[in-house]
Amino acid sequence: MHYWLMKSEPADVSIDDLATFPGQSVAWYGVRNYQARNFMRDQMEIGDGVLFYHSNCKIPGIAGIARVATHAYPDATQFDLKSKYFDAKASGEQPRWFNVDVQLVKKISLVSLAEMRLHPELARMRTLQAGNRLSITPLAPDEWHYITTQLIRD
């Protein structure tokens, strides 16, 4: 089993939105970074743990726990001419971008980025490293355990 931190802008898809979607599940569409794509395509497995993180908002942080619900499959937005994620170099035979579905496990009280930075146990966490802008990052099992047992109070 692997663990992941996946960032979503709440203006696009928030934890509250996820709770209202059919099956409380959403395709993690629009990833256009090769490293993040490769995490989804090559490493994510059904059942992997996900920290659902709100980014690019007033108070960024972990807003919920989710799980990977599907294997990777081609991201449909790459083929949609009207989508801001359209990719003219992608084709049905040669898709460039993939996504997985993420399913809500539970909404939590926000664990802010500022709060995470206070804990030396998380000092090596990729999301907390200077310059890290990836929307998907792996978590070490000890980071997952610390966050889910020590920082999440719900």
Supply the CATH classification number for the domain 3-142. Answer: 3.10.590.10
Q: Which of 16, 21, 117, 101 is nearest to 61 (CA)?
A: 117
pLDDT in tens, 82-119: 999 999 999 999 999 999 999 999 999 999 999 999 99
Instruction: Name the residue ranges covered by the structural domains of the chain.
Output: 3-142
pLDDT in tens, 42-53: 999 999 999 999
pLDDT in tens, 7-66: 999 999 999 999 999 999 999 999 999 999 999 999 999 999 999 999 999 999 999 999
Q: Model pTM?
A: 0.95
